[in-house]
Amino acid sequence: MDTGRGSGPEDGPRRVGDVREEREGTSTQGRTGEDGQLTNRDAGREAGGVAAADAQEGWNIPSGVLPPIGSRDLPEPVPLGKLFGASVVILATALGSGEFIIWPYITTQIGIAFLWLALIGFFVQFVMNMEIERYTLATGETAVTGFTRMWKPWGIFFVLGAVLPNAFPGWATGGATLFTYLFGFGSIPVIATIVLISTALALTLSPVVYQALEKIQMVLVGIIMLFLIVGVFAATELGAWTSVVTQAPGSVPGVPGAIAALGAATFLGAIAFAGAGGANNLTQSNYIRDKGLGMGGLMPKVVSPITGEEQAAPSLGYTFPVNEENMRRWRGWWKVANREHFITFFCIGAFTLLMLSVLVWSAVGQRGIGEDLEFINTEAQILGDQIGGWFRSFFLFAGMVVLFSTSIGIMDYVSRLSASELKVSFFPNSQAITESRIYFLFAWVIAIGGSLILLAGLEAPLVLLIISASGGGVVMAFYLGLLIRLNTRALPEAIRLRGWRLWVMWPTWLIFVALSIYLVYFQIVSNFFGG
């Protein structure tokens, strides 16, 4: 039985749309029905007040900024097989950042011994992403909406944290660069512009955006996995794989030297993007919400304002009564969500990063092989000489797919995070300004704005990627602390962040804070004092 927002047993189960009408209307003012009797809202406030209070027992969701959260029973969990894909979008975005570009590049600069840092970074992001998922599984709201409940400006801060580091379309430019390497012709700005415009069309014309995005990324990730399987057997050496383990212990004292050799921005970006990185991780909330996990199944979906059926209501969520039945459901959701993310994000993502780094180590070792993406072209040529011309083409094609899939993911996540939080914070009652329309606007601003930047002559892929990565690391320092606060205080004791996961989150936050402070200091000294 639903216990929140005053629903009585005589009303039967309420549809999501019914609840949205309450939120859009006078949910706390009280109205009478045609027969002169109190409606559900007043019944819930007067006759059902005790039941509503019982349903909220143990929860501490802030309600000073956004409307108070309601309560409904947690939906039944679904089998693991039906959930695969919930993490494929964030995986596809991760593949083109740290996995294909930054860590293979770092391997050519400081060697293979430091890959343990990447694996730690991936594991930490697995834990971090599950804490982002925890709040959404329990409430249906995104983690950023939870932050906004603490302090309204946090929503805008993380929108800017998504938009600004990605204002330069580095991944589209990188994919276009590999296109020219592969086919020997073409203008990088023009190719990247075509990709950006095509991506905006694909995302904004799909009836349900997430479903289309998931299908696109599934195909692209499948191509990447095929390349990895072929590459492991055709192009890597056993000695390179064993070096990942044998050289790791001796590299620990060399971490300060590695930071000095790479630069603070590159090092922070590498740690941040051993996985997805930046504000991208926060949109795991949006992805599992649109996939229908936990309370996310009760939330409205982002649809095309042209081809889909829009809902004007903001994505404000629910708690659930902490009883035996709901806790059984919670344990089921938490178990299956952890397994899906561990397999899709951690296992496939970490293997991809390792394979691509070992591949470059097997091909060229530790030496400078060019700037920007020239090192990828040199690696492809060396691999072609060693294995055959077909592998050079396959490598460049796979790399192009990786970077274009990341470009698609970035356009989506920036638009998705921005749309959700702007709707919740500033346009909750507007029928005209919907989450879907804000998404549409952001996608096209990114596509057109990025195209103008490229056509104006800014084309340096690696520079753009490092700008995005280092900025993302600073954003992560902020939301890691907020996640700890949100998941240790707002949720009931039975489902809150604790134990070994809390011990992972605390030092991770402190490390990112320290690296971010150092990065800001380094940039100030370098740019203003010539240090």
70-86: pLDDT as tens digits? 899 999 999 988 887 77
Which residue type, as a one-letter code, is found at position 424? V
DSSP state of 66: S
Highest mean pLDDT of the ranges 133-142, 297-306, 356-365, 412-421: 133-142
- C-beta of residue 346 within 8 angstroms of C-beta of residue 354: no
Angle at 527 between CA 525 and CA 528, to 5 degrees: 70
DSSP β-bridge partners for residue 70: 318
Q: How confident is the model at residue 457 (pLDDT cuts 50, 70, 90)?
A: confident
Q: Which helix (H) or strand (E) holds 319?
A: strand 318-319
Query: Considering all CA atoms of the chain, what is the largest pairwise distance in Å, rounded to the nearest integer?
Result: 84
Of the candidate ranges 35-44, 151-160, 183-192, 516-525, the one whose mean pLDDT is the lowest? 35-44
What is the percentage of the chain residues whose pLDDT exceeds 70? 79
Amino acid 60: pLDDT = 93
- CB proximity list for 31: less than 8 A, separation 6 or greater: 39, 41, 42
What does the block give as tokens for 113? 């011994």
What does the block give as tokens for 366? 């530790």
Could you write out the DSSP letters of every residue in 194-249? HHHHHHHHHHHSSSBHHHHHHHHHHHHHHHHHHHHHHHHHHH--HHHHHHHHHTHH
Sign of CA dihedral 229, 231, 233, 236: negative
Mean local confidence (pLDDT), 9-21: 37
Q: Above 90 in pLDDT, residue 455? A: no
Amino acid 58: pLDDT = 87
Amino acid 370: pLDDT = 64
Amino acid 523: pLDDT = 63
Kindly report the number of other CB atoms within 10 A of residue 31's CB atom: 12
pLDDT tens digits along 157-184: 999 888 877 777 877 888 898 999 999 9
Amino acid 15: pLDDT = 35
Helix (H, G, I), strand (E, B) or coil at 303: strand
Rounded-to-5 percentages of helix, strand, coil across the chain? 75, 0, 25
Mean local confidence (pLDDT), 104-125: 85
pTM of the predicted protein model = 0.82
> What contacts 24+ positions apart, CB below 8 Å, involve 223-231?
223/398, 223/401, 224/95, 224/352, 224/398, 224/401, 224/402, 224/405, 225/348, 227/394, 227/395, 227/397, 227/398, 228/351, 228/352, 228/355, 230/394, 231/355, 231/359, 231/395
Q: CA 90 → CA 70, 164, 338, 348, 408, distances in Å?
A: 29, 19, 15, 12, 11
Mean local confidence (pLDDT), 375-390: 86
Looking at 24-146, which runs of residues are DSSP E strands? 70-71
Can you give the length of the chain in residues? 531
For residues 459 and 400, the model is more confident at 400
